[in-house]
Structure formats: C-alpha cells, structure tokens
C-alpha cells in the first residue's frame, strides 16, 4: 500500500558511522526510563523473574516486562549510572539483555495506536449505520416515509465525523501523491469515499433513497483493517530487528582521565574517549590504537579472514575482533578518507536509486485510477445524452465510482503481505522493508558474500582430525577457561568429540599470549608460538600451539567453516534457475576453495566495496535483477544498491539496516524460504487482483446501467473484500518450494 | 414509533460507551503486550505495588 514512503528510509548509513549519537554518558537523573531488550524471555514465569530482578536493583522505581516485544521498561527513582547494573542483574538470572537506543523506540507504536483507534471509530460507525440501513432496506419502500429521512439523517450524523477522522491516513497519503503529481491507490479510495459522502448528504437533504453512507463507512473500515494489520506486522518485525541489533551491541571499557575504568554501551562512546580492549573482545568503536600492538580479525569489515597486525596509530574499525593482547584505543569520528566514510558515500548514492521503486499496488493504481474516472465520466455523459437529467446522471456516475472503488484491490496486496510477513516471522526471518517482498520476488541472480554469509563467520578447528584425542582433551581443559575465539574453537571441537570437557582449576590466562596450567608432570601451555617457545622456523605455520612436558608440540589450524547447508542452498537456487555468484573481499585461494565447495562457478576475490557495486551494475546492465546476500561492512553499499538484499543477524549494524530482510540462526536455507515466500506472495497478489477485477467486470456494467442500489453496493463490496482476505490467509500455512 | 425517539439514542449511547471504553483501554496501554497479559492473569501472588502504574 502506498505509505508516504518515509517509513523505511531511516537513517541507515549515518547512525553507526558516527559514534557521537545523542544520549547522555553520565549518571541518569531521577525519573528516567530505560528500555531493555531481553533475549530469552519467552514465558510468563520468565517475565516475572525479569521484573523481580530489575526491581531489586537499587534505585529502580518500577519495572515492567513486555512479553510480546521481548522488552522491559525500567523507571528510576533516583540517579543511576547507566544501564549496566540492570543488565548485570538480568545476566545473573540467565537473561541476556541490552539497553535499546532511545531513538529505536516508539517508532511505530504511536502510529499503530492511532490507526487502531481510527479503526475502532470506523467499526462503531459502520455497525450502527448498517443497522439503520438494514431497517431502511427491509422497511417500507416509500422514500417519502419520514422514518427514512430520520434514519438517513442519523446515518449522516454518524458517518461524516467518522469519515473526517478515520479517513485521514488515506486522504493525507493521496494528497502527498497528488502533490508529487503521482497516482497511488489512495487517490481513487479517497475520491470514492469523499464523493459518496458528499452525494449521500445531498440526497439526504433532498429526501431520496440514494444514500451510500453505509457503503463508504464500511469501505473505510475494511481498508483500515488491512492497513492496521500491515502496519502491525511491520512494527513487530522491526522491533525484533532492533532487539537483535541492541543485543549484539558491545560494552566499551572507557578509561577516564583519572585512570578509572567505566563500562558503557558502545553506542554512547564519543570521539576522544580512551577505550581498553581485552584479548578476544570486539572493538566497540572506530578509532586509532594508542597503546599496545595486537592482531585483529577484520572479517566483518573487509571479508578478509587472515588476521592483520596492528600497532600504535593504526586505524581500527568497530566490529573487528582483538585476537592478540590487550590494547588501548582512542575513539575517532569518521574522517573523510577512511574506509567508513567511503562506504557511507557509496551507500548514499545506492539508496537514492532504490527510492525510485514503484510498488505493485501503485503500479496497478496508475492505470486503474484513470480508467475508473473515465468510466464514471462516460456514464455521466452517456446518461445526460440519453436525457436522464444531470442529477440522475450524476447519481449513476457516483455509483460507478463507489462500486469501482478498489476495496478488494486495495486489500489485494496488503492482505497477502501481512500473511507472508507473519509466516516469515515465525520462521525467524525478519522482513523490514515494506516493499521488500515485491523486490525479492523479481530477483533472478543471487550474489553471495563469503565470510560470515556462506561461512559461519567464526573460526573453527581445521585440523581436528589430525590431532589425537588425548592431546585435544588436554588442550581443551585450558582452552575452556578463555574467551579468545581460537580457544573457544578448540573447546568446541573437544566438546563435539567427547561430549563434555573436564573442568580444571589453576588455569591462568596471560592476556595476549595464552594460557598455562601446572600439572603433576610440569607446566602445560596453550597459546601463541612465542608463548609456547616454538622456534621461529615453525612458528608461522600455525596460529595456536599446545606444549606439554615430554610431548611433541601440537599445532592448531583454524578456518572459517562453511555453513552446513551452504551447498544445498546454492543447489536449490540453481535448480530454480537463479544465477549464483560469489563476490568476496577475501584472498583468492580462500574464495576459490569456498566457491568450489558450494558449487559456485562464478566468483571474484579481493573485491573492494565499490568493485562489488560495479559488479552489481554490470549484472543490472545485462537486465538481471540482483539479490545480494552479505554481512560485512564492506557489503553494505552493495546491499543497498542491489534490487533486494538479505543479511544474517550476525551482520554488521550498517549492513543489517541496509537489508530488506534479516535471517536468524546458523542455516542459510532461510534465504530460499524467503524467496519462495516472496514469489508466492506475488502470485497470490495477482490472484487477488484477478478477483477484484472480476468483481468489477460484473458490477461496473450494472452500475453504469443504473441498477446498483445502496444495498447491492454494500453486499458486493464486502464479499469481494472477504474473498481476497481469505485467499491471503492460505499463505500462512502453505507448503512452499522454490521453482523456476 | 415514539419508542424510536429514545431507543435509537439509547442504542447509540451504549455503543458509544463501548467505543469510549476501547479507546480508553488503548490509550492506557492495555494492548501493548497481549501475550504477557495472558500470563499475568495466571500469577497467583500479585506483583509488588511498584509494578502498578
């Protein structure tokens, strides 16, 4: 449906680039409200536990959990230093929580509430007017009966304020479109509602029976139902997406000038702050290293999987993982010549292009509206020439307008979209863009990113098979004590092989080097080559070593493993005649190996963000419609430039915001489900259009001939609306397969 | 016929009462969390005072 088009264009590029976003870093004043996203609050009992835990935090005046939104709102009695104690309190009872940015809240809630109250008013009016109309229709057929006049006046008194209040969303949207010299579906809707109300009022004053108040208010009621459901489903998906982003956010350990360390949500980091980043942590903000040196994994930024060595004065980007020792950095705002600024510029131009997409319903309206208005004018002129007098001719012309008013047509697309979004939501796919499904259904080429998209984006043990069980289990005892990604990969490989890892005391972690433990036989060490005393000739051959007294050192190699169903997903797409290609910022050999494993023949390695866009442009020039699937910061411009885009929920913030849909979980198959749903949605929208046109085909000639009474109009309009809605509901449970 | 004179206003008034009630419920946030409300009804001990609005 034709929303004014601003809903989806939230400032996607700007927000994460400038860490200077509003919000107070200091202590909160009394009476302030904080909203938390709570990840695994899924039952009534959890809701109570969450509220109880929050109320126990000193200074909290009230706490209320919202189970549908998976959020909790906390009001403070007195000043409190940030959300950290709340998050910790929930963490202690096993709930992962994060503070939500204030600007993420209330985006759609207010609009939804207003729409619902308009819907209620329209429903009340429709029911009451219908009661009066039924009495008129079934009573005496004498139009001069004073009761007819009374009932018509009563209807007018109820209908006119209702239309003025409840019809506003349609009127303002139609006006917006007309101002830009466009036509959307809301133009014929508004025209029909306004004309029918005006004419009915005129006929009421004159005392005839050609009164359509019931039809115009019922029409309004049906349309508002469609619009409300549409809006609600979208707000729910967007809220869930905001929760995901919020929960992914990092804490920054900010070092104050007196040397004390304060924990802040990373979105509150401001340029100039000094931040300590421990080994294994993600870098919370963009900035430069001021102290220490380390290796960082920048795969989320560039797609490159090999770690990069950095030292003082090197630039680092939010989202990179610190693999080496602890470092201190200073946050900086995005500068003109950095990678981030370049990405922001590319995104801006890319998004402008997408803004020009015209939605299916509006495309239908473009030829439907002139047709309807021509037909109405033709009936008026026809009846005038036949000598019916201008008043009777006008009545018939308006009846034509009312009957053609695209009630079913206006519901045809949104009803299916609501069913589709709800279906996807149940399957963990969050559809964010209102026109996303329509664009997804048109794509015929899928371009994948490698790191984090085809792969899981976290290191896993590559040479596990070559390591004997005894050594692996001994190494895992040490590894289990660390949060370092490599250590966690070792621990995970061990728990996959043995089921569980024996816990041990006395494991000591030396940040940036490794772990050690003193056993009966001597000291065991797990860590870098230097830490384990491996000689320089062998040191470069592996990323992690394990040494024990009297045994050969064990080398661990890591790789970014492909998602389990990556190859299956690519095959399914290929069978559905999708062109599939791989576009990665990683090294040539790594990309070649991944492409071979998932059966992609067309691939490019070492792509810069602007080269990815050029690649998409080249495909577009061949007349293809591109679906981009990516997660990295370097994919963000391509995601914004593609015809449609999808990203996993582990993606960089900017990429998630730029995507039409976000899928959760370790599998890649949701992409196929999404495409299948999008295509079915389009098919069902066309079916619904057919129903709506079929109805017009029958009733327009009747209306032009002057046979349509208010009773016929009311029945015909309701039936066609109910028919398209019922058809749409089938999508929720349909079994779908992606075919050519 | 005279019954209409008071029946219709009475019907409209009652209907309007329902509408006003719904809008009041909407404004006071009772539709914010339909899932949660279902569970809250089953809690046996009432939440603390601070919990109430």
Q: Show the tokens assigned to A281.
A: 């942590």
> Which residues in chain B are closer than 8 Å to A121, comparing Cβ atoms?
19
Rounded Cα distance, A100 and A104, in Å: 7
Between A10-14, A59-63, A192-196, A411-415, the lowest mean confidence (pLDDT) is in A10-14
Q: Yes or no: say if A627 and A446 are a contact pair by the CB < 8 Å rule.
A: yes
What number of C-beta contacts closer than 8 Å exist between A and B? Answer: 68
Measure CA A294 to chain center: 35
A251-255 and A97-99 beta bridge pairing: unpaired
Selected residue with higher pLDDT from A85 and A669: A669
A166 in contact with chain B, both atoms CB, cutoff 8 A? no
Does the annotation count A297 as an active-site position?
no
Distance (Å, whole) CA A14 – CA A21: 9
How do the domains of chain A map onto residue ranges?
Answer: 26-100, 109-237+357-418+679-732, 463-556
List CB contacts (< 8 A) between A67 and chain B.
Answer: 33, 35-36, 39
- CB contact (8 A) between residue A120 and residue B15: no
β-bridge partners, A583: A604
A298 token code pair? 């920048």
Query: Given this model, what pLDDT does residue A464 score?
Result: 79
Q: Tens of pLDDT along B10-52? A: 989 999 999 999 999 988 888 888 888 888 877 766 555 544 4
Of all residues in chain A, the percent with pLDDT exceeding 70 is: 91
Structure tokens at A344: 């922001």
A105 pLDDT above the threshold of 70: no
Chain B CB within 8 Å of residue A357 CB: no
- Identified catalytic residue from A209, A286, A362, A449: A449
CB of B11 within 8 Å of a chain A CB? The answer is yes
Of B19, B36, B51, the CB nearest to A124: B19
- A353 pLDDT more than 80: no
CATH architecture of A26-100: 2-Layer Sandwich (3.30)
Q: Which of residues 117-136 of A touch B (CB under 8 A)?
A: 117, 120-121, 124, 127-128, 131
Backbone phi, then psi, for B44, in 5-degree steps? -85, -40
Report for A260-264, A388-392, A415-419, A734-738: range of highest mean pLDDT: A415-419
Per-residue pLDDT, A144: 67
The interface residues of chain B toward chain A in range 30-49, judged by CB-CB distance below 8 A, are 31-36, 38-40, 42-43, 47-48
Chain B: give the shortest CA distance to residue A611, in Å. 46
For residue B4, the chain A residue with the least C-alpha distance is A147
Across the interface, whether the CB atoms of A67 and B47 are under 8 A apart is answered: no
pTM: 0.79
What pLDDT does residue A501 have? 76
pLDDT at position B1: 64
> 3-state class of A299 per DSSP?
helix
**In a mutagenesis test of the A interface, which of B2, B12, B25 is the best target, namely the one with the most A β-carbons within 10 Å?**
B12
- Mean pLDDT for chain A? 82
User: Computed from CA positions of residues A660, A662, A663, A666, in that sequence, does the dihedral angle turn out positive or negative?
Assistant: positive
CATH topology of domain A463-556: Calcium-transporting ATPase, cytoplasmic domain N (3.40.1110)
A116 touches chain B (CB under 8 A): yes
A185-222 pLDDT, tens per residue? 788 888 888 888 988 898 888 887 778 888 889 889 98
How confident is the model at residue A335, as a pLDDT? 63
Chain-centroid distance of CA A707 in Å reads 48
């Amino acid at each position: 449906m034709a929303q004014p088009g601003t809903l989806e264009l939230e400032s996607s590029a700007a927000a994460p680039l400038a860490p200077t976003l509003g919000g107070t870093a200091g202590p909160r004043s009394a009476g302030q409200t904080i909203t938390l996203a709570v990840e695994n609050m899924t039952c009534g009992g959890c809701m109570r536990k969450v509220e109880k835990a929050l109320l126990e935090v000193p200074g909290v005046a009230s706490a209320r959990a919202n189970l549908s939104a998976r959020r909790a709102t906390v009001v403070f009695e007195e000043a409190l230093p940030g959300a950290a104690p709340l998050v910790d309190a929930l963490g202690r009872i096993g709930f992962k929580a994060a503070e939500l940015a204030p600007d993420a809240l209330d985006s759609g809630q207010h609009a939804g509430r207003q729409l619902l109250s308009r819907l209620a008013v329209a429903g009340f009016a429709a029911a009451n007017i219908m009661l009066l109309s039924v009495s008129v229709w079934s009573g005496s057929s004498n139009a001069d009966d004073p009761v007819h006049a009374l009932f018509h006046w009563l209807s007018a008194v109820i209908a006119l304020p209702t239309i003025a209040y409840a019809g506003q969303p349609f009127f303002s949207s139609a006006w917006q479109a007309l101002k830009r010299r466009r036509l959307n579906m809301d133009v014929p809707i508004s025209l029909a509602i306004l004309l029918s109300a005006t004419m009915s009022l005129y006929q009421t004053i004159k005392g005839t029976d050609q009164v359509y108040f019931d039809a115009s208010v019922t029409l309004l009621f049906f349309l508002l139902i469609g619009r409300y459901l549409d809006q609600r489903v979208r707000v729910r998906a967007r809220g869930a997406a905001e929760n995901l982003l919020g929960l992914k956010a990092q804490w920054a350990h900010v070092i104050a000038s007196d040397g004390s360390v304060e924990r802040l949500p990373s979105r509150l980091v401001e340029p100039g702050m000094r931040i300590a980043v421990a080994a294994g942590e993600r870098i919370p903000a963009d900035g430069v290293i001021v102290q220490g040196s380390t290796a960082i994994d920048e795969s989320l930024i560039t797609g490159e999987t090999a770690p990069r060595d950095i030292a003082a004065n090197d630039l680092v980007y939010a989202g990179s993982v610190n693999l080496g020792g602890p470092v201190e950095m200073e946050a900086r705002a995005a500068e003109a010549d950095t990678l981030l600024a370049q990405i922001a510029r590319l995104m801006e131009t890319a998004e402008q292009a997408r803004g020009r997409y015209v939605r299916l319903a509006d495309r239908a309206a473009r030829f439907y509206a002139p047709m309807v208005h021509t037909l109405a004018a033709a009936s008026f002129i026809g009846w005038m020439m036949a000598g019916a007098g201008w008043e009777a001719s006008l009545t018939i012309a308006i009846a034509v307008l009312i009957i053609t008013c695209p009630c079913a047509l206006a519901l045809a697309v949104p009803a299916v979209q609501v069913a589709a979004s709800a279906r996807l939501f149940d399957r963990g796919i969050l559809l964010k863009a209102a026109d996303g499904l329509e664009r997804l259904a048109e794509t015929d080429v899928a371009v994948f990113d490698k790191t984090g998209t085809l792969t899981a984006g976290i290191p896993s043990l590559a040479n596990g098979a070559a390591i004997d069980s005894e050594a692996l289990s001994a190494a895992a005892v040490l590894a289990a004590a660390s949060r370092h990604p490599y250590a966690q990969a070792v621990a995970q490989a061990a728990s996959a092989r043995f089921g569980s890892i024996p816990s041990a005391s006395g494991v000591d972690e030396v940040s940036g080097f490794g772990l050690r433990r003193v056993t009966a036989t001597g000291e065991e060490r797990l860590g870098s080559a230097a830490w384990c005393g491996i000689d320089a000739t062998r040191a470069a051959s592996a990323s992690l070593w394990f040494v024990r007294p009297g045994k050969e050192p064990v080398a661990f190699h890591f790789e970014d493993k492909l998602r389990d169903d990556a190859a299956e997903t690519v095959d399914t797409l290929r069978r559905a005649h999708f062109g599939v290609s791989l576009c990665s910022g990683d090294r040539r050999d790594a990309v070649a190996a991944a492409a071979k494993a998932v059966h992609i023949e067309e691939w490019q390695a070492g792509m810069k963000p602007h080269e990815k866009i050029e690649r998409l442009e080249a495909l577009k020039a061949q007349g293809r419609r591109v679906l981009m699937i990516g997660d990295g910061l370097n994919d963000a411009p391509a995601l914004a430039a593609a015809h449609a885009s999808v990203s996993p929920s582990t993606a960089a913030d900017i990429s998630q915001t730029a995507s039409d849909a976000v899928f959760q979980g370790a599998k890649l198959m949701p992409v196929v489900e999404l495409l299948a749903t999008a295509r079915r949605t389009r098919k069902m929208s066309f079916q619904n259009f057919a129903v709506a046109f079929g109805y017009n085909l029958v009733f327009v000639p009747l209306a032009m001939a002057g046979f349509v009474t208010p009773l016929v109009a009311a029945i015909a309009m309701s039936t066609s609306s109910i028919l398209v809605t019922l058809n749409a509901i089938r999508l929720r449970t349909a079994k779908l397969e992606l075919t050519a | 016929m005279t019954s209409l004179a008071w029946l219709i206003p009475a019907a409209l008034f009652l209907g309007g009462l329902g509408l006003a009630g719904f809008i009041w419920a909407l404004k006071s946030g009772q539709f914010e969390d339909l899932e949660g409300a279902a569970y809250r009804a089953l809690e046996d001990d009432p939440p603390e005072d601070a919990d109430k609005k």
